[in-house]
Amino acid sequence: MVVLAPRAPGLGRWTQARAHALALGAVLAVPVFFSPPLEAQLPRASQQRVAEPGGTQFNLDFLRPSGGPVIPIFEGWYPMPDGSYALSFGYFNVNTEEVLEIPQGPDNFIEPAIYDGVQPTHFLPVPEGDRRHWGVFTVNIPSDFGDGEVVWSLRHEGRTYSVPGRIRSTQYQINGWVFPGRESSSPVLRLERDGPGSQGPAGMTAAGPANATAGEPVRLIAWTHRDGTFPDDQRPIRVKWFKHRGPGRVSFGEPESEVAHEAWSAEGGAAVSTVATFSEPGSYVVRVLAYNRVPEFEFQCCWTNGYLHVEVGR
């Protein structure tokens, strides 16, 4: 069974109204705006609904195997240690089977243009056992950004789906990488053996691109461990690999794995890897996601993104 919106209770500092606004079966009233209105774009909803704990109703008619759009989502914002802010964005592909490729350009862009280029161009269907793809990337804005907005827009079959990210409301402030209420924190992720570690949706980008040849497997490696904020947290760390951007297909020999406490607690943490094959030359970004467990996504914690740039030649 797939449910399609955050549970009403306990989404960090999200409000009950915002959670209900994301319930599919109601017009979306969060700062996601559509042209034309959403109800004019989708098949007429039936009365088939699924009740979530807490009483929120979700309309399953929003899903279809293929032919539907991708809706950009603003997750919220959190302060960075240097005084800047991270705006976190995810997406909801309403298709259960169709993968959509939307290259950066007139159908996939961020405004102001200075922030364009960090968003995904590869959109996976509704994930099994979860509602959507959470916190896929962030936009870093300066401390003096004030009341400005960063707007991510996706176009599908002549219709535009846009969402503004902003820091003006504390109701959209999320936890970042530590969730004291659940005694949980994001795994630490490194993209170089002896390189710096990072935590949270903003994550980190590799210092330089890796090199690969089209059609030939290449091994991609990251390292992960816990930061010790909660010493009793001995849960395994789960790791997944995704194509984030790029012109061709990317297949992963081991797209996900689980790192046991014995491994990640060792000196230097645990190395996790996958074998990736790129179908054609070009510039790619592979996202590696280190996380604790699926339900924490709904609380906007606790996971870490890493972005590996790969230059693929012939």
User: How do residues 86-112 score in pLDDT, each as one tens digit?
Assistant: 999 999 999 999 999 999 999 999 999
**pLDDT band with cut points at 50, 70 and 90 for residue 115:** very high
Q: E strands, 27-130, where?
A: 33-35, 49-51, 57-59, 70-79, 85-93, 100-101, 108-111, 122-123
Q: What is the residue type of 45?
A: A
Q: Select the more confidently predicted residue: 1 or 88.
A: 88
* Measured CA distances, 61 to 4, 65, 139, 235 (Å): 10, 11, 32, 36
User: Of 132, 128, 139, nearest to 88 (Cα)?
Assistant: 139
The model carries a pTM of 0.81
Residues 6+ positions from 144 with CB-CB distance below 8 Å? none
Q: What is the pLDDT of residues 31-46, one digit of tens each?
A: 344 333 333 333 332 3
